[in-house]
Amino acid sequence: MHPYPPSPPVAVSDPSAELWQSAARVLDTNWSGDHMVPSRRLYPHQWSWDTAFIAVGLAFVNPARAWRDLRSLFEAQWPDGRVPHIVFDPATAEDDYFPGPGFWNVPAYAGRRARGSTGIVQPPLHALAAWEVYRHAAAHGADGVSEARTALAWLYPRLVAQQEYLTDRRDAGGSGLASIVHPWESGLDNSPAWDEALGNVPADLALLERFPRRDLAVAHAAHRPTDLDYARYIGLVRNYRDGGYSDTDLTQRHPFAVECPAFNSILGTAELALAQIAGVLGLTGDARRHRDRAREITAAIARRLWDPVTRTFRARDARTGRLSPARCVSGLLPLMLPDLPADRVTAIMEEARSERFGLPAPSADRTAATFDTRRYWRGPVWINVNWLLRRGMLVHGLRGEAEELRRAMLRLVHEHGHYEYFHPETGEGLGAPTFSWTAALCLDLLADRSAPAYSKAA
């Protein structure tokens, strides 16, 4: 029995009700007992930032599962505070996904079985997710709040440990920002933002003969990262794994260490969510520290990742100090930070409105030679990053723009389905079908009480 009944948003039109019901079915289909899978066909385990996005929407139809999904992920947290980007389902065979648990070869830790997770991370969106699930519970009365406070109290020290790991051990450039050690850590796997840094990573195609790709058995090769990229990905895993997953002297001994504007914007946003959570838990001193830390991260992003010539945010290679030449959707996400200088807010919105992007935003610059309408993060539209971009618009009071983007996202999914991502010109659904975060975020967008009901023709 749930503490409050799952229900669709008030005063919805027929298209909204249809979309709500289909999204709820996707989440029911992809539930695996104590966690959600992104999509059963291509992603049979639990992914880290997927869990966060999913919790936000799952709270509207099954709040108990939203809390359980977050808890399941953090039960796999490492002693150093890192939250692995995949928690492996022991019921899934090694051959059903590559690279699987045997390849990562993570030792047993904190009472967890060996080979239970990967050794890399993903964007720390989980504090924001926990806060959003709590807010939803608070809107439904005392019973929901009591359960939610208990869940927050369990999660809070683990969320803090996650932040401390990233701001301390991952500050490879000494700039006050976290570095990613693998493109997969960004969540934007094959983004052009990594091309220049990846060019310094050896690509041994013979690795793919020893370790055949399994994604191509269930997905079209033209939609996925290239073999050259994949060979580099596998080489980076081996290098980090063989170094014991250590973060010491990363810029000297590991061939990839990059400061991503999206990853670090989420890091700063997480501190603000932790300030809210600390307030609920009566930890006023902690709340002040989290707000101060968010301001410090924002200042570091503005100082370190801003390109004054092009007036855009870009990824920086912590090993070489060079800014990526690519304009990508990751450069729009500092909009999430409330203390971002006003001129940077204006510049982001100009970029989002320009011919290079447009709304909903594609994953990369439409005018660039590297733009690819079907290949994963090199052009397609993703609902999750547009959802984050919309949050940034609301943070800065851009309600008209936020509503335009909300309607565009809902229209895209209603017309084409709950796909992993979408063709930036035709809207065709691409990647995995019945994709959990697409469904979950549609529920959140439909339930936005500050917006008028969605209509397919709007």
Is residue 330 within 8 A of residue 192, CB to CB? The reply is: no
CA 95/CA 102 separation, integer angstroms? 10
Tell me if 1 is assigned to some domain.
Answer: no
Domain with residue 188: its CATH number is: 1.50.10.10
Tell me if 452 is assigned to some domain.
Answer: no
What is the pLDDT, as a whole number, of residue 141? 66
Q: Is the pTM value of this prediction over 0.75?
A: yes
Cα–Cα nearest to 125, from 193, 183, 182, 47: 47
What is the pLDDT, as a whole number, of residue 210? 83
State the number of CA atoms in the 13 A half-sphere of 283 facing the CB. 16
In a 10 Å sphere around its CB, with 0-12 CB exposed, 13-18 middle and 19+ buried, how is residue 455 labelled?
Answer: middle
In a 10 Å sphere around its CB, with 0-12 CB exposed, 13-18 middle and 19+ buried, how is residue 220 labelled?
Answer: exposed
What is the rounded average pLDDT for all residues in the chain?
Answer: 92
Is residue 333 within 8 A of residue 187, CB to CB? The reply is: no
- Which residues, listed in sequence order, are joined to residue 39 by a DSSP beta bridge? 43
Which residues form the domain of 343? 19-447
Reported as a pLDDT band with limits 50, 70 and 90, residue 273 is very high
Tell me if 458 is assigned to some domain.
Answer: no
Assign residue 311 a region: left if phi > 0, alpha if psi is -120 to 50, beta otherwise?
left
Catalytic residue numbers read 189, 420
Tell me if 10 is assigned to some domain.
Answer: no
Q: Tell me the torsion sign for CA atoms 344, 348, 350, 355.
A: positive
What is the pLDDT, as a whole number, of residue 15? 74
Query: Average pLDDT in the 31-35 region?
Result: 95
What are the angstrom distances between the C-alpha of 86 and each of 48, 49, 104, 119?
6, 9, 11, 8
Per residue in 153-211, pLDDT (tens digit) is 999 999 999 999 999 999 999 999 999 999 999 999 999 999 999 999 988 888 888 88
How many distinct structural domains can be found in the chain? 1
Is residue 45 within 8 A of residue 89, CB to CB? The reply is: yes
Tell me if 14 is assigned to some domain.
Answer: no
Is residue 454 within 8 A of residue 446, CB to CB? The reply is: yes
Q: Tell me the torsion sign for CA atoms 441, 328, 49, 212.
A: positive
Tell me if 301 is assigned to some domain.
Answer: yes
Tell me if 325 is assigned to some domain.
Answer: yes
Per residue in 92-103, pLDDT (tens digit) is 999 889 999 999
Tell me if 5 is assigned to some domain.
Answer: no
- Which residues, listed in sequence order, are joined to residue 244 by a DSSP beta bridge? none
Per residue in 356-384, pLDDT (tens digit) is 999 999 999 999 999 999 999 999 999 99
What is the pLDDT, as a whole number, of residue 142? 62
- First vs last Cα of the chain: how many Å apart? 37
Cα–Cα nearest to 278, from 293, 259, 262: 293
Reported as a pLDDT band with limits 50, 70 and 90, residue 449 is low
